Structure 1
Amino acid sequence: MTGVESGEPGAGSGRGPAVIAVVFTALVLAVGVGWWNWPEKTPPVQLDVDFSGAVPEVREAIETARDRVRLAPESGEAWGELAMLLRAHGYDRPADESFRRAQRLDANEFRWPYLLGVSLENVDPVEAERCLRRALAVAPDLALPRLPLAELLVAAGRSEEAATLFGEANELEPLNTRAMLGLARLESDAGRLAEAESLCRQAEEIAPQNRMVQELLARVLFRQGRREEAERLRRRLETMPQVETSDDPFVAEVLILRRDPNWIAVKAQTMLDQGLTQRAVEYLETVIANHPGRIRFPLQLARALGGAGRPAQARKVLERAVTEFPESAELRLVLGLVLGEMEELAEAAESFDAAIQRKPDYAEAWVWRGRTLRDRMKIEEAERCFRQAIRFRPALPDGYAELGTLLLAAGRVGEAVDALETAVDLSPGTVSWRRRLFEARRRLDR
């Protein structure tokens, strides 16, 4: 157990050398047993951090941040950084105390009241509301602080206030899906299902892979009696990843501070989702050097390099990983994607073939093999690949969309309409597929 305490020494005048010596000796002894005493104008704050079970990386990071606080006890930034590290690793109570100290010392910094408010939403809604309103006062031009505050008010039954905040956020950021989703939930709760569906559809066009949008849309459709559409959405949800990183840049900043090895993959993905590609690349390169023999990290690094426009480097990473993990179908798939990006289509097709050989029901590999063959004008083989993808994953919208596009180009308009209708049913938010379906129907009606 490690403690941090800040306090004000007793006031007095005419202190002689003997008194000063006693005070200094007491301070040294206190530091020796793990307590720090600093002259402060605020009441003492004690932080207890139980490091039992913590990996060395976590303890070292927190102790380094704690040392910065000891050296600069009046620095709101130092307290805030300590608070973020504590929060990232689940030390909630000392994190809360550190955030409180940070916002007292640095009243013009948005992050400290905001992060404290977000953390307290489900623990102390009253203090959470105070913190979020303070954050909003510091940064009134940001949409972000309005969103958790509005969600807090919804939970408290204060829907009108929440609607105002969601509306303001939507005006500040018209493409903010969280604001749209908040408004959609309010419309749904009020029984205005058509309005709720319209807002969900708008959010879906912006973020088609957002689970919360899909879940709310499925509930709205079910309440409208459109059970088949709702069931299709629920089946699609089963194929979407359960673990999501935060789209809140300030919460993501906290997540990125995680030091424990079990959090590596989420931390790297959070960096990528926030557009911190180079930082993710450097982090993953270090991780791979320190944690050899794990297939997930080379895959993430290759995707990061590909996203950064460095396919040649991604190819080298993947080719090394393929040597280490020769039976991995996923590595072969991603290598094929990189080769396709480099316009080496024959090699890409071979890599997709290798993925399918290792995993014959790998629907995504069948789709990408079909795309590569289509680009090489091998239309019949491409059609077979798309049909295989649909066979193995009947709820995979890409298979139907690619098949429909191929059939439309071949003049088989009726079959194209059927395939594209299924694709749009499975993924209504994909605008390009809806346009293609409109074109196919128009040609069918001629």
Structure 2
Amino acid sequence: METKHVSRFSPINLIIISLFYFKCNINHEPLTIPENNQLDKVEVQVRETIKKMSDLILKNPNDVQRWANYAMTLDVHDFTLEAIIAYQKAESLDENNFRWPFFQAIALQSLGDEKNLELYRKSIKINDGYTPIYNLYGKALYEYGYIDSSTVYFLKAIQKFPCSPTALNHLAKTYLIENQLELADSILIKMKECGRAGKTYYTLLSDLSRKKGNATLSMDLATKANNMLAPKNIMYNPIYDQVTDMGVSSAWYRYRAQKYFNNQVYEKAIKEYTELIKIKPLPIDHFNLGLAYNKIGQLKMAENHYKICLNMNPNYADALKKLAEIFRDKGDLKKYYFYLNEYGKVITEAVN
């Protein structure tokens, strides 16, 4: 989330990472801590959390959960190489837990390191029942050009989760590239049955129609695809939520709050937004917190946060509209017309 190391969480493509080592009293294991010039780039609560966790490890360097929490915290805040070292220590203390090689594999894949393939295989050997491993391993194999092997693992994924969008998309693309049109057609039928008939589906169906010689239909399908929104690039991976849940930056609180809100888990959204506004509140955060309270019927709390939002940005139209609705439902017509009028002014100014 912050601008630091190369990772899947940050837009930076290259940064030199320097590591600072401490030695633990037991087993001489290295405790890898980001350098101060890197920690200075993150929010204060992130620095304090990393320091606190490293101190706990120094007190008990054989506590696997402390190493795991430290690794996940480093990982989610983009200290990827340091996180990998901590995952390795967690793995050495807990060899039968597939999460540690699995999380290492994801981190290494984000860095473009082909060693991730070995770690995915290791994870599968420990736990062959977790479907997202097959998708991620298949995706990694595909990226490194092992197309046939990737197909094997995507097929295993849909055996476990028949409507896996990642597996279905990759299988359809692979079969189209290899001109295995009947197989591609069967996968596209499955995508539609699974309710996956979105932009990717119509793009692939357009390509299939073109390869079958139906240019007119192909153009029509391509036009339909172009008019649809691009799908969100989200892969189902609930175990990895353990990593994202360790995020203590404002960006991660905002991410989790919105995720919970979108899933209609409003109480958890409120908890995340409440922590967020203690750190780095924006008008939209107070508005969304008000909206979450609104959803569970706590109108006074909703009203308070809509008003705070307006104190920060008096032209926040949605907050004015929501306050108008609250006072309308209360029967307070004076305040209803006041906020409705203010809302109209803001909308008019925006249009002009």
- TM-score (structure 2 length as normaliser): 0.73
Q: 1:201 aligns with which of 177, 182, 192?
A: 192
1:139 Cα deviation from its structure 2 partner: 2.2
**Residues of 2 paired with 1:277 and 1:179: CA distance?**
31
1:62 Cα deviation from its structure 2 partner: 0.6
Say whether 1:265 aligns with 2:282. no
- Tell me the number of residue pairs that the alignment of Structure 1 and Structure 2 aligns: 318
Say whether 1:252 aligns with 2:252. no
Check 1:304–1:142 CA distance in 2 against 1; reply closer, same or farther (3 A cut): farther
Q: Which runs of 5+ in 1 are unaligned?
A: 5-34, 363-446
Name the SS for the 2:20 alignment partner: strand
Check 1:313–1:352 CA distance in 2 against 1; reply closer, same or farther (3 A cut): same
Name the SS for the 1:236 alignment partner: coil
Aligned position for 1:80? 68
**Residues of 2 paired with 1:160 and 1:261: CA distance?**
42
Name the SS for the 2:78 alignment partner: coil
Aligned position for 2:7? none
Percent identity over paired residues: 15
Q: Which runs of 5+ in 2 are unaligned?
A: 1-17
CA-based RMSD of the aligned residues comes to 4.0
1:140 Cα deviation from its structure 2 partner: 1.9
Name the SS for the 2:97 alignment partner: coil
1:220 Cα deviation from its structure 2 partner: 4.3
Aligned position for 1:320? 307
Say whether 1:234 aligns with 2:222. no
Aligned position for 1:49? 34
Name the SS for the 1:257 alignment partner: coil
Name the SS for the 1:47 alignment partner: strand
Q: Is the 8 A contact 2:105 2:117 kept in 1?
A: yes
Check 1:86–1:351 CA distance in 2 against 1; reply closer, same or farther (3 A cut): same
Check 1:252–1:332 CA distance in 2 against 1; reply closer, same or farther (3 A cut): farther
1:115 Cα deviation from its structure 2 partner: 1.0
1:83 Cα deviation from its structure 2 partner: 0.8
Check 1:148–1:62 CA distance in 2 against 1; reply closer, same or farther (3 A cut): same
1:84 Cα deviation from its structure 2 partner: 0.8
Structure 1 segment 121-270 matched on structure 2, within 5 A:
121-123=109-111, 125-191=113-179, 192=181, 193-202=184-193, 205=195, 214-215=199-200, 217-218=202-203, 220-221=205-206, 224=210, 225=215, 226-237=218-229, 247-270=236-259
**Residues of 1 paired with 2:111 and 2:225: CA distance?**
33
String of CA shifts for 1:268-305, please: whole Å, max 9, x gaps.
Answer: 2245467764333122123324545x211023323444
1:97 Cα deviation from its structure 2 partner: 0.8
Q: Is the 8 A contact 2:33 2:54 kept in 1?
A: no
Name the SS for the 2:32 alignment partner: strand
**Residues of 2 paired with 1:78 and 1:274: CA distance?**
30
**Residues of 1 paired with 2:192 and 2:337: CA distance?**
36
1:86 Cα deviation from its structure 2 partner: 0.8
**Residues of 2 paired with 1:187 and 1:81: CA distance?**
41
Q: Rg larger in 1 or in 2?
A: 1
- State the one-letter code of the partner of 2:243: V
Higher RCO (C-alpha 8 Å, min separation 6): 2
1:182 Cα deviation from its structure 2 partner: 3.1
String of CA shifts for 1:157-212, please: whole Å, max 9, x gaps.
Answer: 33333233223322322343333333333333333353454344345x26x7xxxx
Name the SS for the 1:61 alignment partner: helix
**Residues of 2 paired with 1:304 and 1:124: CA distance?**
39
**Residues of 2 paired with 1:337 and 1:197: CA distance?**
45
Aligned position for 1:36? 23
